[in-house]
Amino acid sequence: MLAKNQNPSTGEPSFSVDVQFVRALESGDLPAPGALTLEEAGLSPAQLVEMFESQVLSRQLDLHSRRLQARGESFYTIGSSGHEGNAAVAAALRLGDPAFLHYRSGAFFIQRSRQLPGSTPTWDLLLSFCASSEDPIAGGRHKVFGSRALNVPPQTSTIASQLPKAVGAAHSLGLARRLGVAGPWPSDSVILCSFGDASFNHSTAQGAINAAAWTAFQGLPMPLVFLCEDNGLGISVPTPPGWIENSMRARAGIEYLACNGLDPLDTYRAASRAAAIARRQKKPVFLHLRCVRLLGHAGADAQQAYLSAEQIAAAERDDPLLHGAARLLHLGLLSADEVLNLYRDTGARVRAVAEEAIKRPKLLRADEVMASIVPPPRTSRAVAAALPPDDGQPKPMGRLLNQALDRMLLRYPHMFLAGEDVGRKGGVYGVTQRLQARHGAHRVIDTLLDEQSILGLGIGAAHNGLLPVVEIQFLAYLHNAEDQLRGEAATLPFFSQGQFTNPMVVRIAGLAYQRGFGGHFHNDNAIAVLRDIPGLPVACPSNGADAVGLLQEALRLADEEQRVVVLIEPIALYHQRDLRAAGDDGACSVDPGPDFRIPVGRFGRHGDGRDLALVSYGNGAYLCRQAWPALEAAGIRPRLIDLRWLTGLDHDALHAELADCARILVVDECRRSGSLSEELLANLAERGIESARLRRLTAQDSFIPLGRAATATLPSAAGIVAAATAWCRS
């Protein structure tokens, strides 16, 4: 809240919380210090002073970010004011303890920086506020707390979507030990994940907390500290008093601890205990830190609209800096004048550094912005291994995928599979059958039924150097967890300039054409949500050999290029043996071997006909092959382009393959609106192919019903023949 007066020493607008802090120090009107002693808290005098210095720096950075925003020089004003008690949490943890921080963790980040000599948090954070391309973590793409050297992966979440991957990271510590794989974090690390009381209520947070408890309840290692910083507000909506404590105090599998986040001694003592429990007992701890929110939610938030003047003033009287100053004065560590000098000198230093930071370069060009979407390559961790032989017989897609996963688990010692029912049952469709018996329950992991937690497990484990292959049981089940891919996994290299990555393969059983089962929830043909995520390769095979080649390339991309890759596996083709007649085994393939891979963008071509080019993928390509004899009988010489990859398409190469065809029919099993067919036709038209030569046959804009009507809205082999013959005869 801006005061009416200007700061007489700087001429800049003053904030009420700034004025009140100085006034309280000058008048001696400070909160009464608590009874806890330094010895009882486990702190030295020097540590307490250092923590207070971190809190003061965090506050001055908050204040000056808003002043810079008024000048058009700062672009992010969600601050940490009122939450500075988290500096004590940082002091209680080790540098090697990864910290997934939310946006009010400025004091934590500054205090963590003190554990690494040579750190420059003031300069780094001001570059971030100013969106400078020299910002060492995000390069001007966003204001985030992050540092590779400090083990702080950047988080951009406002809805606690970092919690699932924090759970995955905690689980990965024990898993890496069992696999004998050395990750970037010490094996006795503790994972710290901070979030607010409003975010606690989000389904993502609740799912992650439940997943951690579910895991720990079974005696599995989960060295994790959930830090809930409770300021009592979700922007303007108050959190019911007692809600957080009553929700968590008796939660099975999780230790609940609470502290007064305004008191650095109480916070440090509680945080030290939380870290000790998580580190020694390998169990999750919920640390409930009570604090206040000062300065409103962000610079644009006028909290006077929903808080009374009395409520705002009460929060300012509970300023954690005032509580910290009271402690220092009571212990005789600093005088009031020394505290004021520290506060003012810190502010002056922030101002001086800011004037240099705002002059630093900014991102200006699209190629600069996009440079970090794709992460940098790394050395493969594959090993030479004795792989099981194949009998050389043609097999359906599901069987070939099973064989490929079996041998890839041998080739990649840091790889594991995870998902609902993938272990003992072997997957709903048997694709992972017998793999758990061969490789162990730690490498083929049966998870709880929560897609957000499954993806979070993969993201967090990939942070720690493992190679996760996670399965989403049905495509329809992805949609309640898609932000884990869109907002977390795919953005991590972008917001860290490739310093942090979470390479993994996501297998999704999906698409339609299942016979007599499921309806829409098991026959989902909506893939648009995956295709528009920048930098996310998405593949979809139409036959077993291609499925092997795409899976093995996906694993190479994850292992060597640190990519997140999605493989959509058509359920209807898992066990399909026949193509055109019973017993013809035309849908079966011979295993192409462990070294066969299909690079991103490389499509398959079948036939050389020039009358009609069919362009499709997945079930659509299978249907085109079914339609082939009827097309030839009608005098049409066809050609089939099987796309195989649904993103990263080489449109120039595709145009070259199709330019000599009289007609081009795109067969797309997904819905007419938002399907791949739109992109294909637009790019062919842009490259000069006349619209009269282009048509598409797609699914209708409909959900898929149950029973005999299940394929009524979808393309069919007969429909392809009818559309093609009518067009070619016109």
SS3 content of the chain, % helix, strand, coil (to 5): 40, 15, 45
Burial class, 388, CB count within 10 angstroms (exposed 0-12 / middle 13-18 / buried 19+):
exposed
Nearest alpha-carbon partner for 246 in 311, 197, 192 = 197
Contact 196, 257 (CB under 8 A): no
Sole residue written with tokens 């297998």: 507
| Dist CA 211 CA 204 (whole Å) | 11
Contact 187, 222 (CB under 8 A): no
Q: Which of 64, 142, 522, 651 is catalytic?
A: 522
| Dist CA 122 CA 129 (whole Å) | 11
| Dist CA 200 CA 226 (whole Å) | 10
Active site residue 171: no
DSSP string, 400-433: HHHHHHHHHHHH-TTEEEEETT-SSS--TTSTTT
Buried b (16+ CB within 10 A) or exposed e, 568-590: bbbbbbbebbeeeeeeeebbbbe
| Dist CA 580 CA 637 (whole Å) | 18
Nearest alpha-carbon partner for 695 in 651, 657, 728 = 728
Which residues lie below 8 Å from residue 323, measured CB to CB, with a gap of 6+?
Answer: 31, 33, 262, 263, 264
Structure tokens at 20: 């009140």
| Dist CA 550 CA 538 (whole Å) | 10
| Dist CA 283 CA 486 (whole Å) | 29
| Dist CA 417 CA 506 (whole Å) | 10
| Dist CA 620 CA 568 (whole Å) | 13
Contact 232, 291 (CB under 8 A): no
Structure tokens at 101: 């921080």
| Dist CA 436 CA 416 (whole Å) | 10
Contact 153, 100 (CB under 8 A): yes
Alpha-carbon torsion angle 496, 497, 500, 502, nearest 10: 100
| Dist CA 617 CA 538 (whole Å) | 12
| Dist CA 580 CA 577 (whole Å) | 10
First to last CA, the chain: 72
Nearest alpha-carbon partner for 21 in 338, 323, 334 = 323
Q: List the catalytic residues.
A: 522
